[in-house]
C-alpha cells in the first residue's frame, strides 16, 4: 500500500508540474546585416561608328556585359572627306551609393611630331544621361561641364580644325583617371544589379575630324572606372 501511495503521489506531482513545463510559448531571434556600397559599369549595347572610311567597330559587348569594345577609326587623313568620324558607346551605370565614373588613357601609342595625330585630336564627351527605368534616379547625377559637350559637333575654324571642350589629352594616364561623371546620390533604387529598370544610361562619344595629318598610325586604350567613396 505504501508503494502504491508513493507512486500515486509522484504521478499527481507530475500532472501538477506538466502545465508549468509546457508554459514557454515565445522566444526571440536577433537579426542583423549590412548592405554595402556597390557599383557596376557595363556596356549599354551596340556601339556605332559613323563618318569612317575603312575601319569600324571590330569587337563589342552585348548590353549589360563587361565593356570590351574595339574600334578602328579607319582613315582620318585627306582620304576621308567626311566632316567627322564619330564613335558612340552606350553605357549602363548602377550604384546604390554616391559614385564617380573616371576615365584614363593607357597603353597609348601616337606618332611623334606636332603635325601627327595626337591625343588632343580625339574629342570625348559623355552625353544623354538619363534614368533607364522606374527604379533609377539621376536627379543628383551630373556630367562634368567639359565632358558634357558633344565632340561630334565641335566647332571648326576656317582651316577645318576643331576645338573640343575635352579630348583624350584632358584625361589622366593612370587609372582610375579623371572624374567625368559624378553622382551625389544613389542611382539604383531596389532591384538587383541585373535589373532592366534601375540603371542610368549615358553615351560615351569619341570624335575625330579628318585632316592632313603627318602619315602614321595611332592606338590607345580608354579605361573607364566606376567607384564609390
Residues 6+ positions from 216 with CB-CB distance below 8 Å: 111, 116, 117
Residue 125 DSSP label: E
- What is the Cα–Cα distance from 1 to 209, expressed in whole angstroms? 116
- Cα–chain center distance at 163: 27
Q: 151 phi and psi, to 5 degrees?
A: -70, -20
- What is the Cα–Cα distance from 84 to 142, expressed in whole angstroms? 26
| Structural domain boundaries in the chain | 39-227
Q: What is the pLDDT of residues 161-172, one digit of tens each?
A: 999 999 999 999
Mean pLDDT of the chain: 91
Residues 6+ positions from 29 with CB-CB distance below 8 Å: none
pLDDT cut 70: percent of the chain above it: 90
Q: What is the pLDDT of residues 119-161, one digit of tens each?
A: 999 999 999 999 999 999 999 999 999 999 999 999 999 999 9
Stretch 101-117: mean pLDDT: 93
Q: What is the pLDDT of residues 46-76, one digit of tens each?
A: 999 999 999 999 999 999 999 999 999 999 9
Helix (H, G, I), strand (E, B) or coil at 169: helix
Q: 147 phi and psi, to 5 degrees?
A: -95, 0
What is the pTM assigned to this prediction? 0.87
**Please, what sign has the CA dihedral across residues 186, 183, 88, 62?**
negative
**pLDDT, position 229:** 76
Amino acid at each position: 500500500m505504501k508503494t502504491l501511495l508513493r507512486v500515486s503521489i509522484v504521478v499527481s506531482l507530475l500532472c501538477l508540474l506538466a502545465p508549468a513545463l509546457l508554459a514557454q510559448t515565445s522566444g526571440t531571434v536577433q537579426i542583423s546585416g549590412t548592405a554595402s556600397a556597390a557599383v557596376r559599369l557595363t556596356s549599354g549595347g551596340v556601339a556605332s561608328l559613323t563618318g569612317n572610311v575603312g575601319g569600324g567597330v571590330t569587337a563589342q559587348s552585348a548590353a549589360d556585359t563587361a565593356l570590351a569594345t574595339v574600334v578602328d577609326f579607319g582613315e582620318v587623313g585627306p582620304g576621308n572627306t567626311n566632316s567627322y568620324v564619330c564613335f558612340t558607346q552606350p553605357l549602363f551605370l548602377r550604384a546604390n551609393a554616391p559614385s564617380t565614373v573616371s576615365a584614363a588613357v593607357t597603353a597609348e601609342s601616337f606618332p611623334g611630331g606636332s603635325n601627327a595625330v595626337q591625343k588632343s585630336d580625339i574629342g570625348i564627351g559623355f552625353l544623354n544621361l538619363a534614368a533607364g527605368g522606374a527604379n533609377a534616379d539621376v536627379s543628383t547625377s551630373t556630367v562634368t561641364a567639359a565632358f558634357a559637350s558633344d565632340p561630334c559637333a565641335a566647332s571648326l575654324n576656317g582651316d577645318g580644325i576643331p576645338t573640343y571642350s575635352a579630348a583624350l589629352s584632358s584625361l589622366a594616364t593612370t587609372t582610375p583617371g579623371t572624374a567625368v561623371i559624378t553622382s551625389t546620390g544613389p542611382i539604383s533604387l531596389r532591384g538587383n544589379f541585373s535589373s532592366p529598370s534601375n540603371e542610368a544610361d549615358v553615351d560615351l562619344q569619341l570624335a575625330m575630324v579628318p585632316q592632313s595629318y603627318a602619315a602614321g598610325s595611332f592606338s590607345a586604350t580608354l579605361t573607364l572606372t566606376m567607384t564609390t567613396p
